[in-house]
Every structure is written in C-alpha cells, then in structure tokens.
Amino acid sequence: MLGSSWVSEVSVHSGKPIIEGDGGGARLAVQAPPSVPEPTHLPGGSDWRLAAPRDQEPRPPHPGTGVQAEELPGRGADVAALQYRAPRLAVDCLTQALLGPHHAALILDVACGTGLVAAELQAQGFRQLHGVDGSPGMLDQAQARGLYQCLSLCTLGQEPLPSAEGTFDAVLMVGALSDGQVPCSAIPELLRVTKPGGLVCLTTRTNPSNLRYKEALEATLDGLEQAGSWKRLEARTVDRWELATSELEVGPGTSDSDGFISGIIYLYQKQAAAQAEGGRPGPQPPAGL
C-alpha cells in the first residue's frame, strides 16, 4: 500500500512501484479510516458501498472520507453482479472516433480505479496508458494488474492533473461523474491536458438520483463548447447501463421490466484554438457539483 506517504507518481517498471517526489506533485488530501468492514450482502441492500454510484471506484456518500468501496474484498464480484457496461461502451465510442494506430495513441484514464477502463483499452490494442486516481488503494490494485505505464495520485477537482498541457491523444473519465464523486469543476483540467484535435470521453448516469448533477455537468460541457474550446461529436444514451441497487434509483430512467438504469456517453474533440486560449471555462456549476 502507498499508505500515508505523500506520493506524486507511481511509474510501472518490472511490476514494482517506484515512488517519485516528496510533495511537489499531486497529493491525497484525506486518509481512509483504519478499517472498514467487508460488505455482507449482495447488491440491492441499503449499504452505501453497494448503493453508491458504481464503476471502478464507487464513493461513499460523504466525499473526503477517503474510503473506496472497491478497496474492499469482493468488490469486483459486486461490479460484475451489477452488469456494469460503461467501461466497454465508452471505449467502443472512443475507438470508433480515434484516428491512427491504437498502439501509438497516448491515453489518460482519469479516476482510473483498479483499471476496468484500461482492460478494455488494452483489448482494443491501446498500449500507452496513464492513470490518475485519488485513492492509494485503487492505485495499488491498478499497479498490480500491470495495465498502465504510469499511475499518478491526484485529488480531482482540488488539484491540477499532473501532466503538461496538450499531452494526451485522448482522455477518459468513466463512472466518476456523479453527485458526491468528481465535481464538474474538474472538467476543464481534462481539456487542458488533451492535445488539440484530441478526444475527451465522459460518462454519467441519467437515473433520477443523478439528474441534478447531470444538469450541472451539461451546463459545464455546453459552456466549454460555446467558448470554442471543444466540439461535441456524440452524446450516446444507453438504456441498459447498470442494475439499480436501491429504491432511490427507481423511476424515470429505470426499466421496470429488467431493473436497469440508463446512462450517457459524451464524446468531444478539442479545438486547435483552445490550446492558445487555455480552454476557457464556461459557466460554473452550482456549488458542490
């Protein structure tokens, strides 16, 4: 485990992490409690670890506790039981739009968790993968899978991404854009580190409990487009996104017949002018989003 050390970056060499930096890079702002009990029931109960927004790194209801549900044993089985499809669908969307050989493209996976998105990228032939997450436990598990060339610790929305402007051919954030997870204010940073002409792929859920966040997210996305920073290529709605796990998720956007909630994939292309202008941010989302 990376533990309580201030870590700026973990580079992948021969399967062993190399700690670089002593505070000059991105830092984790909070530490996890000393212990968290393992979930004792399958999805569908009221435990926040299973009812929270799901993907590779579900968050607790109070941001800043530092607890990540997938750090707990058995979380991979929970994700599988939820039939979570976002990583594959997002990578498919990106792959259809990204020109050039996949093995040569430099990709950033933001809020990478344990590497669900990276596994899908690898399956499509992408090899130059960097990952960023706010949890040392997530990064440990991602490191163990050997899918990334470089992993960095960063508190999204509070710190800049630890990459230079215009670095990546494509940037993805899959499953972390929802209430209580990554704030909408982090979006301009994704644009900043993308090359002019590069792609940004984002996902969020469209069920009732996430609609307020989705509205704030789309206001941010539209503001950046109106500023000429990027151009929307696609907004793909997906009905069968993942299984609902609580009554709060049932309603419009939920299929009563099979229990799935819906989601959406956004794909943007950074405009060349945005490099010189620094990707001017659009209207700011409401406080807390």
Q: What are phi and psi of 51, to 5 degrees?
A: -90, -10
Q: How many CB atoms lie within 10 A of CB 44?
A: 15
Percent of the chain, pLDDT > 70? Answer: 61
| Mean pLDDT (whole number) for 66-72 | 35
Q: Map residue 108 onto helix, strand or coil.
A: strand
| Mean pLDDT (whole number) for 54-58 | 39
The confidence score (pLDDT) of residue 102 equals 97
At 83, the pLDDT band (50, 70, 90 cuts) reads confident
The confidence score (pLDDT) of residue 203 equals 98
More confident call, 80 vs 34: 80
The confidence score (pLDDT) of residue 250 equals 61
pTM of the model: 0.70
CA distance 39 to 69: 9
What domains does the chain contain, in order, with CATH numbers? 44-276 (3.40.50.150)
Summarize pLDDT for 155-197 with one digit per residue, the tens: 999 999 999 999 999 999 999 999 889 999 999 999 999 999 9
35 touches 192 (CB < 8 A)? no
Instruction: State the pairing for strand pair 260-270/128-133.
Output: unpaired
CA distance 12 to 9: 10
At 239, the pLDDT band (50, 70, 90 cuts) reads confident
The confidence score (pLDDT) of residue 194 equals 99
Q: How many CB atoms lie within 10 A of CB 126?
A: 25
Q: How many CB atoms lie within 10 A of CB 119?
A: 15
More confident call, 157 vs 277: 157
The confidence score (pLDDT) of residue 249 equals 66
| Mean pLDDT (whole number) for 239-246 | 80
